[in-house]
Structure 1
Amino acid sequence: MIAVLQRVSEASVRVEGVVIGQIGTGLLVLLCAEKGDTEAVADKMLAKILKLRIFSDAGGKMNLSLQDVGGGLLVVSQFTLAADVAGGNRPSFTQAATPEEGLHLYGHFVAQARKAHPEVQTGRFAADMKVSLVNDGPITIPMRMTA
């Protein structure tokens, strides 16, 4: 499973011009399921994301987690994170999970996030989404989690 985390002061996602998910301070998580990923991998990634200390403490040091600061979590599916650009100029997405597997794992990730964290917003799986954000820092962290 691949994720790109962006610490934001605000972020939103629109589908057909309508805002369907929006947060203030928190994390925008672009999430991609790959072939072979499992619910256990999704759970492991979520646990790491919620506890990752990338928010500033009173001294300005990145020492606080999303849970510590009570920030929002905006989770957006993005299969293009599995792009392989090694051969030619057109990306290959053969390592991405099938749409059915991706939807299942995205749904599982979101459901578990909602059990563990008070503010979780989402995009819409497989929709044409417009994501807006104000990257705070900027802090952008790529993650890959395996079994």
Structure 2
Amino acid sequence: MKRILLLFAIFILGFHFGYAQRTCGSIFNLDSIEKHAPHSYQRILQIEQHLQRYNEILSEDISRSVPEIIRIPVVVHVLHNGEPVGTGLNISMAQIESQIDALNEDFRRLNADASNTPSVFQPVASDVGIEFHLACIDPEGNPTNGVRSNKKTRAK
């Protein structure tokens, strides 16, 4: 019984080490393709060269590229009771612009309290590359300041 277990262990270890030392089969296939299908072999080499150049270009572009900022036009709707801009419930243009600035600071992670991000969110907190700005053209193509003033009406 001990002999059988010993032979079995040797077989398993021999198989394991023999398999682990095996070279990549693609080399044997590539040699066979070169001998039996030279046209296919040349095509494989062309693809490999193309991929090599692509990887070089990609690594150069990544190392020197600056992320593109996505700019999103927004329209702010201000509900009010008919007061002039900046009085009563009708907020001022400065307040609207200040809020757009705060929104951009948050999305670009440029806000003063970015260092106070809870540790659980630190790995995912980043500049998402999005900025908002007040729309300057409405859907019909007319110029706008990006603010729509809407007088509230009471439901009857």
Task: Place the TM-score, normalised by the shorter chain, in its bin.
Answer: under 0.3
TM-score, normalising length: structure 2: 0.24
Find the structure with the greater CA-based Rg.
2
Structure (1 or 2) with the greater strand fraction: 1
TM-score, normalising length: structure 1: 0.25
Structure (1 or 2) with the greater helix fraction: 2
Q: Which of the pair has the greater relative contact order for Cα pairs under 8 Å at 6+ separation?
A: 1
